Amino acid sequence: MERIEPTAASTRVLAPISDTDEVDLIPVRTYWQLVRQRFVQHRLAVIALFLMLVLVVLAIVVPTLTGQGYAKTSLSTTMRPPFQSLTSPLGTNQIGQDMFLRLMKAMQTSLFIGFMAVVIIAAVGVTLGAIAGFFGGWIDNVIMRIVDVVLSLPIFFLIVMIVSFFGKGDAWVVIIAIGITGWTLACRLVRAEFLKLRDADFVQAARALGAGRMRIAARHMLPAALAPVVVAATLGIADSVVTEAALSFLGFGISPPEASLGNMLRNFEEDIQVRPILLVWPSVTIVLIVLAASFLGDGLRDALDPRQRIEKK
């Protein structure tokens, strides 16, 4: 067999790297930097976040500056059409109330109910789900049977019963009613995450180092289990706003003279025949809130998923 001798053309000598040579290094990015980069690439989620921020700012600033202006009536300016006056850009209703001020106050009330209800849902659901997933055994069985019982109930009618019994028209009653009936999804999500994390390497390492149960659950497992809860909470804002609107539309939620998106739609049959434009503003606002929350939830779900790849630009 002929032996092939290496030649100068077939061999390459690797020169040592000197201090003056430039070496391309891939920067190490933290988890939250990757989350932010994945979220920014989700254009609909970015638009939804901007829209939600605009709605929240308007709902806070306008009622704060105008005070009780949303409740004032003026029989001399009833049924004013929209876009005819700078003082009443959305017109007035049958009793002369400014529709723009009333819409901003209604949006403030509905968003407040939505955010606060989600706080209760997250607090109850995360706590019970973490306990069930961490301890397991009979504790897990008891909590999961409670979840099954709550899921078997007609939730909306249960909310109506609670609001009717404890007082219609009170925002906090509506918040508590939505919160104590909507925690089951968060509970099941956190429980599933804790069941997966109980045997994870970093949890076993924390146990080997002598960390207590509460420290392991609160400092190591809970942060890793919150990603699906954040997504569920974002979507829960939309669900809570729609639930409040349905309650107020049926007369069980916020009552006039207070404003909410639901009670602005309450005179549906009369308004749709006389002034359909009065139904447009609260309806469009509800749709915008639901769409913003939905797209924001989709963006957060993709951003918080470590399996998602970042596209190179």
Average pLDDT over residues 36-58: 90
Residue 114: closest CA among 175, 160, 186, 187: 175
Domain ranges of the chain: 31-70+105-304
8 Å CB contact between 143 and 192: no
pLDDT of residue 229: 84
Regarding predicted confidence, which is higher, 74 or 172? 172
DSSP label at residue 305:
-
Average pLDDT over residues 243-260: 86
- Residue 141 pLDDT > 80, yes or no? yes
8 Å CB contact between 285 and 293: no
Average pLDDT over residues 262-289: 82
Average pLDDT over residues 40-56: 91
8 Å CB contact between 193 and 224: yes
Average pLDDT over residues 20-26: 50
pLDDT band at 200 (very low <50, low <70, confident <90, very high): confident
* 212-249 residue pLDDT tens: 777 877 777 777 777 788 888 888 899 999 999 999 88
* Cα separation, 206 vs 210, whole angstroms: 7
Task: Give burial (CB, 10 Å; 0-12/13-18/19+) of 313.
Answer: exposed
- Residue 250 pLDDT > 90, yes or no? no
Average pLDDT over residues 290-313: 75
- One-character DSSP codes across 84-102: S-SSSTT-B-TT--BHHHH
Indicate the residue type of 76. Answer: S
* Cα separation, 117 vs 15, whole angstroms: 65
Residue 308: closest CA among 37, 118, 29: 37
* Cα separation, 310 vs 313, whole angstroms: 9
Q: What is the mean pLDDT of the chain?
A: 82
* 62-102 residue pLDDT tens: 999 988 888 888 777 777 878 777 777 888 888 888 889 99
Instruction: Record the pTM.
Output: 0.81
Q: What percent of the chain has pLDDT over 90?
A: 26
8 Å CB contact between 29 and 35: no
8 Å CB contact between 215 and 206: yes
Helix, strand and coil in the chain, % to nearest 5: 70, 0, 30
* Cα separation, 268 vs 275, whole angstroms: 10
- Residue 25 pLDDT > 60, yes or no? no
- Residue 23 pLDDT > 50, yes or no? no
- Residue 10 pLDDT > 80, yes or no? no
> Which sign does the torsion angle of CA 276, 278, 281, 286 carry?
negative
> Which sign does the torsion angle of CA 268, 269, 272, 275 carry?
negative
Query: Taking the domain 31-70+105-304, which CATH number applies?
Result: 1.10.3720.10
